[in-house]
Amino acid sequence: MTCFSILPYADNIVLLAPSVHSLQLLRRTCEDELSCLDMRSNNKKSVCIRIGPRYKTDCCSLVTSDNSEIRWCNDLRYLGVYVTSSSTFSCSFSHSTYRAINALFGRVGRATSADVIVQVFKMKCLLVLYYIN
């Protein structure tokens, strides 16, 4: 069995751990490695969520090397997908619908005919709505 604790993509990293203590240790290890590369994490963008049967239980704060606290949230965004804190792994796609519609109107503008908007909506945005349901 393979264990995945660090999921990096470009400048985004997800850390997965079975306990808050393990997460704190993993965070320190990542900070040390980033420091060796003359890099650091953006603590203002860093958040924690808890997934599992005790997801509603209050957790102690994670502390960074500069004594900042990482806040606990109900959801987080990773690569455009919102992962929610719950008893099982789940994602929220409610944000995706609005993003698809806003992207559509941002591209076509107000001067485009209703027929063109409906056709583009069918081709681009409807897939997001089907996936949600």
Q: Are residues 84 and 41 in the same domain?
A: yes
- Parent domain of 121: 94-132
- Does 1 reside within a domain? no
103 and 127 share a domain?
A: yes
- Same domain, yes or no: 80 and 100: no
Pairing label, strands 81-84, 62-63: unpaired
Coil, helix or strand at residue 80: coil
pTM over 0.75: no
Name the pairing type of β-strands 12-15 and 6-9.
antiparallel
pLDDT > 50? residue 133:
no
The pLDDT value given to residue 101 = 66
